[in-house]
Amino acid sequence: MVANSKPQTHHVSVLAFPFGSHAGPLHSLVLRLAAAAPQVAFSFLTTSKANAALFSKSPLSLHNVKAYNVPDGLPENFVPSGNPEVAVGFFLKAAPANFMGSLKDAEAATGLRVGCLVSDAFFWFVGDMAEEMKVPWVPVWTGGPRSLLAHVDTDLIRQRLGTSGGGKQTLDFLPGFSRFQMDDLPEGIVGKLESPLATLLYKMGQKLPKATAVAINSFEEVDPEVVNVLKSRFQKFLNVGPFSLIPSSPSPSPSLPPLLNDESGCLEWLDTQKPASVAYISFGSVVTPPPHELAAFAEALIESGFPFIWSFRGNIEEILPKGYDKMSLNGKILSWAPQVQVLGHSSTGVFVTHCGWNSILESIVGGVPMICRPFFGDQNLNMRTVEAAWGIGVGVEGGLITKPAAIKALELVLKQKEGEEMREKLKILQNLAQQAVEWNGSSPRAFNSLVEIVTK
């Protein structure tokens, strides 16, 4: 769909973090904003690699959204070390100056001065840019509300518990955290505080309360106690999700996500399976479990016999037991699967996930319980939220995937009473998510406030 061209009278610049799964949700939000405000020019600033991936995948083309490339900050002849934090560090060090240069390019191309800055919440320095430019700043947090509160209240946590980390002390002094412990916290709040990411997150937590508004891919009703605290911490806290339930352009059916091509035939295959019987496995696109854990999970699938869809980008033959190949398994192994549609299918009974926030929201929308194997960042806190606060999933016993632990978790969710109880709790959250995105729901109201702020 291409929007009708109108004279553009306002310019919003959007600064995206190009690593992990950060840029995608921000891009989705910008497309919604651009469709709602065709008179506004949106310049989307991130690295050429991230821009190419985002704009080539998008089925939607809007005349008022244009990509501008930002240098990645890497030195000449840089050789990747295998540690992604190195590239992140170089990018962040050069980011303020590089973004300002691309922002000037966007102003020259549009003929319009930037009137609002929207950024990934990681970019605390954009608050300083906005202050200097005398324009509103709207950071967008791509994680969940609970991890956001932990970062905003980092000083309080350190005052109460110290900074050494790794303890079992409860966090009951934080609203909504009575079932959580110190070692559930995201990295950088306690423990190793010297890393570039820890420094960034601390500065972010200090800066966000000064923003014009903070937006998040979530809905108010998912965690009302935590959301209400965040509303008191920020000038405005706008829950404008779940994005998977809201199309990027106006539609008469906001509760239906756009259909993706099912080239793999996995949705057709799901049609042949029993209700709530299939395990869907995807550990995201950033980190993969080590080979011995992948092999253990493959063995668990073979021994348990549960049908499955596994989104797996490596060579599956390397982790299968001797005597097995891809064709001999009771499932489908794909390099990519239409996750929202798979989770929305009635045959999908459990989602084995790394517990990234986007995946959790999509599982809630689909009403599918989770088996969680977190890796880093907010994922451990997300797992504890799924397991202890909401009761809609379970962590892998011992924290690492072994064949016995995987079989136990699969049987718990797919065969036992606990799985049924999880599904009942999910129905409540699923209904709340659907209600939140209805035309008079909390998320459209928050989105309308966001449109007002960025178009002033």
Q: Is 234 helix (H, G, I), strand (E, B) or coil?
A: coil
DSSP 8-state class, residue 387: I
Known catalytic residue at 120: yes
DSSP string, 175-229: TT-TT-BGGGSPTTSSS---SHHHHHHHHHHHHGGGSS-EEESS-GGGSHHHHHH
Decide: 405 and 398 in contact? Cβ < 8 Å. Answer: yes
Q: Which of 22, 27, 151, 345 is catalytic?
A: 22
CA separation for the pair 225, 392 (Å, rounded): 18
Spatial CB neighbours of 27, under 8 Å, sequence gap ≥ 6: 16, 44, 54, 58
Burial class of residue 1 in the structure, from the number of CB atoms within 10 Å of its CB (0-12 exposed, 13-18 middle, 19+ buried): exposed
Known catalytic residue at 184: no
- Rounded (10°) angle between helices 23-36 and 442-455: 80
Q: Which of 72, 120, 184, 223 is catalytic?
A: 120
CA separation for the pair 84, 19 (Å, rounded): 9
Spatial CB neighbours of 105, under 8 Å, sequence gap ≥ 6: 68
CA separation for the pair 30, 454 (Å, rounded): 11
Q: Hey, what are 160's tokens?
A: 């109460």
DSSP 8-state class, residue 325: -
| Residue type, position 392, single letter | I
- Rounded (10°) angle between helices 84-110 and 196-207: 50
Spatial CB neighbours of 417, under 8 Å, sequence gap ≥ 6: none
Active site residues: 22, 120
